[in-house]
Amino acid sequence: FPLDVIRNFSIIAHIDHGKSTLADRLLELTGTIKKKETGKNEQVLDKLKVERERGITVKAQTASMVHSSNGKSHLLNLIDTPGHVDFAWEVSRSLAACQGALLLVDASQGVQAQSISVFHIAKERGLTIIPVLNKIDLPAAQPERIAAQMQSTFGINPADILSISAKTGKGVESVLQAVIDRIPAPQSDKNAPAKAFLFDSLYDRYRGVISLVNIQNGILRKGDKIASCHTRKKYEIAEIGIMYPEEVSTDILCPGQVGYIACNMKESSEAHIGDTLHRVGEPVPPMPGFKPSKAMVYAGIFPVDSSDFPKLEESIKRLTLTDRSTLHMDVFRQRLEDEYDANIIITAPTVPYKVLYRDGTEKFISNPTEFPDMSDSTTKVSEIQEPIVKASIIVPEEYFGDMMELCYSRRAEELDHRYLDAGSDASSSRIILTCVIPLSEIVTDFFDQLKSRSSGFASFDYEDAGYQKSDLAKMVFLLNGKPVDALALIVHRSAQDTIGRAWVKKLHKVIPRQLFEVPIQAAIGKKVIARETLSANRADVTAGLYGGHYERKLKHLENQKEGKKRLKRIGTVDLPQEAFFDILKR
């Protein structure tokens, strides 16, 4: 394929606005996949079980297709981007391999927070934007109103907007034509030294890591010896080809093309997203702006049965080997359970805190048990800082008050807001709210709260805003005087009493009575913040006091204990796995 018939593009869309459906239609229309029999609507590009169940795209999936226009065959490379709120950074790096993007907006829902942030990334990268209104088949669709919204939010000319139904297929042909007509071909030099931009990676049980690349210059062939600009490691290309939509070996990738390379990389951690690959002996300047991705949310994982530890370690290794991007804790847990059959306890998520010392050095801490005791007068710590983010929330006006309340309760600052629909009637107006908020306040249940307090109408996105000094402390929970590592938390001092009391109450509720009295305490340093006492359970009074239900439950627990399953022993106290889940769900 000569360069001028190649188009590299992606689809920007808020979750559920129809990105996967449109991708499937495009693949069908170009004959890349067969049209599905009716009744089945499992999307081709959403491969993992968890993606199908949750309807979110976790891994970016890329596919090439061929389409004829004016008697000329065009090679269209669709670079799929994850649409879930936690994956904005993956979206941004996939865009680096594109010259254009479809901005897909649900005509019944309107513009949402994530579309706005990704739109700005795409704009900054100089991508051509093709605005597309989807779901025009829906009776609730308001194409004119949403088109006006796109004009006021994105500065888009309504005349450029395509109206389609990805579901029925109406107008989808016009999308392919617009991709060909409006998006420029990639600019590449065939004769320059080979240069490939690595924008994603997959894992294959047999072939190891598969890198997805965009050839910026030159040609790469099977058997070529290549090197990474970032790691300086060398490899030999064992297989090279395009995603059509599965891997199809072509033995060669030409300038402007998007495809895959298998080169015996053993671990995903060798495939650095944003890295540049070149032929050994023919160095090239790396693509600018490469930053090794940095984890911002951490959690501890404990096996329920400690003899499972080696197996768990192996499973996690495998999973991270195949997918370092699985940042979403629920997704990670579900994949561990689905694919590796693991029985685990995951601690509350935590963020990397920055500890500044009096001698001028600093350190990042993400494990609460390593957090310094600030009440210790001999401490060498001068200051603790926490990561903050800039958040945008879009919400219908009637929920605005609730959103403000939620944000303030999460220590948000610098609230600012404006109307999204300029000049439209007040009854259906939406507001965009921006604020600075500690990352730790949004990694737990913020998103769920946002959704439930706005009847599902609010949308949310955030970006990194650096670090800020904060008054934080480590809270530990003691059962029978013994600290439980899996429950250690870092809390803001203003919330310590509320959190301490709430957790202690919750522990009291979920921990089964033992044969002896168990004090449950929350402490900061040496100071006990909250306490509850779990009274002893004497076998002879159990039936009378607690009734048959409790007895059955106890018996049930005993049975489980006999099976040496699902019970975690902490100090002298047995904790059922469910108790942990209950507590950690907050």
Our finding on whether 110 is near ligand GDP (CB under 6 A) is no
- Partner touching 135 among ligand GDP, Mg ion, none, CB below 5 to 8 Å by kind: ligand GDP
**H or E segment to which residue 203 belongs:** strand 195-204
Our finding on whether 20 is near ligand GDP (CB under 6 A) is yes
**Binding marks (x or -) toward ligand GDP, 229..268, rule CB under 6 A?**
----------------------------------------
User: Footprint of Mg ion on residues 458-487 (CB under 5 A)?
Assistant: none
- Contact window for ligand GDP (CB under 6 A) among 11-19, 63-71, 470-478, 542-550: 11-19
The reply, when asked if residue 563 is annotated as ligand binding, is no
For the chain, the straight-line distance linking the first and the last C-alpha, in angstroms and rounded, comes to: 55
The residue among 139 and 285 lying less far from ligand GDP, judged by its C-beta, is: 139
Crossing angle for the helix pair 19-29 and 172-182, nearest 10 degrees?
Answer: 80
User: Footprint of ligand GDP on residues 460-479 (CB under 6 A)?
Assistant: none
Kindly tell me which residue out of 10, 60, 77, 83 binds ligand GDP, with binding defined by CB under 6 A: 83
The residue among 170 and 561 lying less far from ligand GDP, judged by its C-beta, is: 170
DSSP 422: T
The reply, when asked if residue 359 is annotated as ligand binding, is no
Buried b (16+ CB within 10 A) or exposed e, 424-434: eeeeebbbbbb
The reply, when asked if residue 136 is annotated as ligand binding, is yes
Our finding on whether 108 is near Mg ion (CB under 5 A) is no
Determine the Cα–Cα distance for residues 382 and 385; give it in Å rounded to an integer: 10
Say how many CA atoms lie within 13 Å of 450 toward its Cβ: 24
The reply, when asked if residue 82 is annotated as ligand binding, is yes
The reply, when asked if residue 19 is annotated as ligand binding, is yes
- Partner touching 13 among Mg ion, ligand GDP, none, CB below 5 to 8 Å by kind: ligand GDP
Our finding on whether 55 is near ligand GDP (CB under 6 A) is yes
Buried b (16+ CB within 10 A) or exposed e, 180-215: beebebbebeeeeebbbbbbbbbbeeebbbbbbbbb
DSSP 268: G
Tell me the closest approach of the beta carbon of residue 35 to ligand GDP, in angstroms. 15
| Residues composing the chain | 586
- Contact window for ligand GDP (CB under 6 A) among 16-24, 361-369, 535-543, 572-580: 16-24
Quickly list H helices, 5-72.
19-29, 49-54
Tell me the closest approach of the beta carbon of residue 13 to ligand GDP, in angstroms. 5
The reply, when asked if residue 240 is annotated as ligand binding, is no
Kindly tell me which residue out of 92, 115, 134, 470 binds ligand GDP, with binding defined by CB under 6 A: 134
User: Pairing mode, if any, of strands 208-217 and 258-265?
Assistant: antiparallel
The reply, when asked if residue 278 is annotated as ligand binding, is no
User: Footprint of Mg ion on residues 3-22 (CB under 5 A)?
Assistant: 20
18, 141, 144, 523 from 107: Cα distances, Å: 11, 5, 9, 52
Give the pair of three-digit tokens for residue 254. 């030409």
DSSP 350: B
Compute how many other C-beta atoms are within 10 angstroms of the C-beta atom of residue 342.
Answer: 20
The residue among 19 and 279 lying less far from Mg ion, judged by its C-beta, is: 19
Answer whether 258's CB lies under 8 Å from 64's CB: yes
- Partner touching 213 among ligand GDP, Mg ion, none, CB below 5 to 8 Å by kind: none
Number of residues that bind ligand GDP (CB under 6 A): 17
**Residue tagged 């048990």 (tokens):** 369
Kindly tell me which residue out of 9, 10, 12, 18 binds ligand GDP, with binding defined by CB under 6 A: 18
What string of DSSP letters covers 529-552? EEEEEE----HHHHHHHHHHHHHH
Our finding on whether 63 is near ligand GDP (CB under 6 A) is no
Number of residues that bind Mg ion (CB under 5 A): 2
Tell me the closest approach of the beta carbon of residue 330 to ligand GDP, in angstroms. 17
Determine the Cα–Cα distance for residues 39 and 529; give it in Å rounded to an integer: 57
* Binding residues vs Mg ion (CB under 5 A): 20, 57
- Annotated binding residues for GTP, written as ranges, equal 13-20, 80-84, 134-137
* Binding residues vs ligand GDP (CB under 6 A): 13, 15-21, 55, 83, 134-135, 137-138, 165-167
